[in-house]
Amino acid sequence: MPAATKSIAVLGAGITGLTAAHRLDKQGHRVRVFEQQNRIGGAVGTDIIDGWLCERGPNSMLANDPAIMALIDELGLSEEYVKANSTARKRYLVKWGMPMATPSSPVSLITTPLFSFGAKRRLITELFQRPRQHPDDVSLGQFVEDHFGREIVDYALNPLIGGVYAGDPSQLSAQHAFPTLWEAEKSHGSIIRAMIAKMSKRGKSKKPKTPRVGIISFKHGLQTLTNALAARLPSDALSLNTEVTQITRDGSWHVTWKHDGSEHTETFDMVVSALPASGLANLQVGSSNDHPLEVLQEVLHPPVDSLVLGYRCKQIAHALDGFGMLVPEIEKRSVLGVLFSSSLFAGRAPDGHASLTVMVGGTRQPELTGLDTDELLRRIQPDLSAMLGVEGEPVFRRHQSWPRAIPQYNLGHGRFLDAIAACEEQNQGLFIGGQVRDGIALPACISAGEKLAARATES
Ligand SMILES: Cc1cc2nc3c(=O)[nH]c(=O)nc-3n(C[C@H](O)[C@H](O)[C@H](O)COP(=O)(O)OP(=O)(O)OC[C@H]3O[C@@H](n4cnc5c(N)ncnc54)[C@H](O)[C@@H]3O)c2cc1C
Q: Are residues 278 and 321 in the same domain?
A: no
318 and 397 housed in the same domain = yes
Would you call 367 helix, strand, or coil by DSSP?
Answer: helix
pLDDT of res. 337:
97
Per-residue pLDDT at 288: 66
**DSSP-based three-state secondary structure for 361:** strand
Q: How far is the CA of 442 from the centre of ligand 1 (A)?
A: 9
CB-CB contact of 95 with 112 (8 Å): no
Residues 172 and 148 grouped into a single domain: yes
* Ligand 1 neighbour 446 (Cβ under 6 A): no
Question: What is the domain extent for residue 384?
Answer: 302-402
Q: Are 46 and 59 in contact (CB under 8 A)?
A: no
Contact 216 CB / ligand 1 (< 6 Å): no
> What CA–CA distance (Å, rounded) separates 186 from 181?
9
What CATH number should be reported for the domain holding residue 194? 1.10.3110.10
Q: Is the CB of 407 under 6 A from ligand 1?
A: no
Pairwise CA distance, residues 391 & 382, whole Å: 9
pTM as predicted: 0.95
Are 311 and 391 in a shared domain? Answer: yes
Let me know if residue 312 belongs to a domain: yes
267 shares its domain with 122? no
Q: Which atom of ligand 1 is nearest to the CA of 306?
A: 1
Q: What pLDDT score does 2 carry?
A: 47
One pLDDT digit (tens) per residue for the chain, 459 residues: 444 799 999 999 999 999 999 999 999 999 999 999 999 999 999 999 999 999 999 999 999 999 999 999 999 999 999 999 999 999 999 999 999 999 988 888 889 999 999 999 998 889 887 777 888 889 999 999 999 999 999 999 999 999 999 999 999 999 999 999 999 998 888 898 888 888 888 777 777 677 788 999 999 999 999 999 999 999 999 999 999 999 999 889 999 999 999 999 999 999 999 999 999 999 999 866 689 999 999 999 999 999 999 999 999 999 999 999 999 999 999 999 999 999 999 999 999 999 999 999 999 999 999 999 999 999 999 999 999 999 999 999 999 999 999 999 999 999 999 999 999 999 999 999 999 999 999 999 999 999 999 999 998
Question: In CATH, what number is assigned to the domain containing residue 263?
Answer: 3.50.50.60
Inside any domain, residue 110: no
Same domain, 155 and 193: yes
The CATH code of the domain that includes 357 is: 3.90.660.20
The three-state (H, E, C) secondary structure of 24-85, written as one string: HHHCCCEEEEECCCCCCECCCCEEEECCEEEECCCCCEECCCHHHHHHHHHCCCCCCEEECC
- Minimum-distance ligand 1 atom for the alpha carbon of 40: 49
DSSP state of 397: E
On whether both 317 and 388 belong to a single domain, the answer is: yes
> Is 275 touching ligand 1 by the criterion CB < 6 Å?
yes
Burial 199-211 (b: 16+ CB within 10 A, else e): eeeeeeeeeeeee
With respect to residue 447, please indicate whether it lies within any of the assigned structural domains.
Answer: yes
Ligand 1 atom nearest to CA at 62: 11
* pLDDT given for residue 207 in this prediction: 73
Atom of ligand 1 nearest to the CA of 440: 19
Question: Per the domain annotation, does 209 fall within a domain?
Answer: no
Q: How many domains, in total, are found in the chain?
A: 3
Report which protein residue has its CA nearest ligand 1's atom 32.
14
> Which one of 176, 204, 232 terminates a domain?
204
223 CB near ligand 1 (under 6 Å): no
Does residue 416 lie within any of the structural domains?
A: yes
Do 229 and 294 lie in one domain? The reply is yes
Mutate to test the pocket of ligand 1, among 442, 450, 451, 452 (most ligand atoms within 8 A of CB): 442
Q: Report whether 358 contacts 384 (CB < 8 A).
A: yes
Cα-to-centroid distance, 43 and ligand 1 (Å): 4
Question: Is residue 448 located within the same domain as residue 369?
Answer: no
How far, in Å, from the CA of 58 to the mean position of ligand 1?
9
Query: Which pLDDT score is estimated for 286?
Result: 80
Does any ligand 1 atom lie closer than 6 A to the CB of residue 255?
Answer: no
From 145, 171, 204, give the residue that closes a domain: 204
**Alpha-carbon distance 363 to 301, whole Å?**
9
Residue 131 lies in a domain: yes
Quick one: 187 and 231 in the same domain? no
> Are residues 390 and 343 part of one domain?
yes
Residues 306 and 370 in one domain: yes
Residues 6+ apart with CB under 8 A from 338: 324, 325, 327, 356, 357, 358, 359, 384, 387, 388
Q: For residue 379, what is the enclosing H or E element?
A: helix 373-388
Residue 322 domain-assigned?
A: yes
In the reported structure, the alpha carbon of residue 170 is separated from the centroid of ligand 1 by a whole-number distance in angstroms of 24
**Ligand 1 lined by 272 (C-beta under 6 Å):** no
381 part of a folded domain: yes
93 by DSSP, 3-state: which? strand
Looking at 402, 428, 449, the residue that finishes a domain is 402
